[in-house]
Amino acid sequence: MIDSHCHINDSAFVNNPEAYIKEAKDAGVAEFLVVGYDLKSSRIAVDISKKYENCNAAVGIHPSDVKRMGKNDLNEIEILAKDPKVLAIGEIGLDYYWDKDPEIQKQQQEFFIKQIEIANKLNKPISIHCREAYEDCYQILKAHPVRRGGVMHCYGGSAEMAKLFIKLGFVLGFGGTLTFKNARRPKEVLEAISNEDYVLETDAPYLAPDPFRGKQNHSKYLYLVKEKIAELRGISPEIVDLQSTQNFNRVFK
């Protein structure tokens, strides 16, 4: 399996990536996309990707972090993104759940668009974080097409919107939230999409799947996401592994 979104660069794991990678590998995870959310975490993601062959990096400024970042940080992101081990710009996007202030939301939109421009300039896909902002996110992507597409990380929108994002060249990332008891929406989405439209992720250390909900997440729990998708789509976990791996490689490599 490939964990298409994890934060080995988080303080929870950064002191011992080797142990993290080994534990995950023993649980069937062969590859990791280590995703940045500000300049510092993006730098660490690149460092990790340089040190471990099965790790690649995404660099970018998360919408919830834009208020403490400057435009110059975007230049630094662009320089970092030129590294061949950087497969994507991310995680970038919009988060209106944590930021209700319209001024800050506007700032998020500006950073999102600027980072889409970096992705297009370097011909790389993007990893999108979107929370309570699906309509604005879709409008931005429509007005600023991402040449290489990318992933809607931790997709939590409707099945209808999912089809629109897929049409724009995106796959959907599914993680721990899929396994939660009240997860009605992701289930509807998974029934509505095709084999080519999804990848697996943990978002570790966040959003641990059931039965570890509320605890620290880890890529070693990725199999729980795989099994849930298999159950919902009525196929074997091996097929989910195969399809999601193919999808990851098509989008990111």
Shortest separation between residue 7's beta carbon and Ni ion, angstroms:
6
Shortest separation between residue 68's beta carbon and Ni ion, angstroms:
17
Shortest separation between residue 239's beta carbon and Ni ion, angstroms:
26
Shortest separation between residue 187's beta carbon and Ni ion, angstroms:
22
Shortest separation between residue 234's beta carbon and Ni ion, angstroms:
29
Q: Which is nearer to Ni ion, 65 or 197 (CB)?
A: 65
Task: Please give the size of the binding site for Ni ion, defined by CB under 5 A.
Answer: 1
Q: Identify any residues that bridge with 94 across adjacent strands, giving them in sequence order.
A: 130
Stretch that binds Ni ion, among 75-83, 107-115, 202-210, 221-229 (CB under 5 A): 202-210
User: What is the distance of C-alpha 222 from the center of its chain?
Assistant: 14
CA dihedral 32, 36, 42, 45 (to 10 degrees): -20
Gap between the Cα atoms of 10 and 8, Å rounded:
5
Gap between the Cα atoms of 94 and 105, Å rounded:
7
Phi, psi of 231, rounded to the nearest 5 degrees: -60, -45
Q: Which is nearer to Ni ion, 206 or 242 (CB)?
A: 206
Stretch that binds Ni ion, among 10-18, 40-48, 187-195, 200-208 (CB under 5 A): 200-208
Stretch that binds Ni ion, among 79-87, 170-178, 199-207, 227-235 (CB under 5 A): 199-207
Gap between the Cα atoms of 135 and 132, Å rounded:
9
Gap between the Cα atoms of 103 and 246, Å rounded:
40
Gap between the Cα atoms of 53 and 176, Å rounded:
26
Distances (CA, A) of 226 to 191, 201, 233: 15, 9, 11
Q: Which is nearer to Ni ion, 78 or 203 (CB)?
A: 203
Q: Which is nearer to Ni ion, 203 or 241 (CB)?
A: 203
Shortest separation between residue 60's beta carbon and Ni ion, angstroms:
11
| Tokens 């298409």, located at residue | 4
Shortest separation between residue 153's beta carbon and Ni ion, angstroms:
6
The yes or no reply on residue 38 touching Ni ion (CB under 5 A) is: no
Stretch that binds Ni ion, among 15-23, 179-187, 195-203, 218-226 (CB under 5 A): 195-203
Q: Which is nearer to Ni ion, 73 or 203 (CB)?
A: 203
Stretch that binds Ni ion, among 67-75, 196-204, 218-226, 236-244 (CB under 5 A): 196-204
* Residue pair 118/90 in contact by the 8 Å Cβ criterion: no
Three-state SS for 173? strand
Residue selected from 48, 203, 204, 222 as contacting Ni ion according to rule CB under 5 A:
203
Residues that bind Ni ion (CB under 5 A): 203
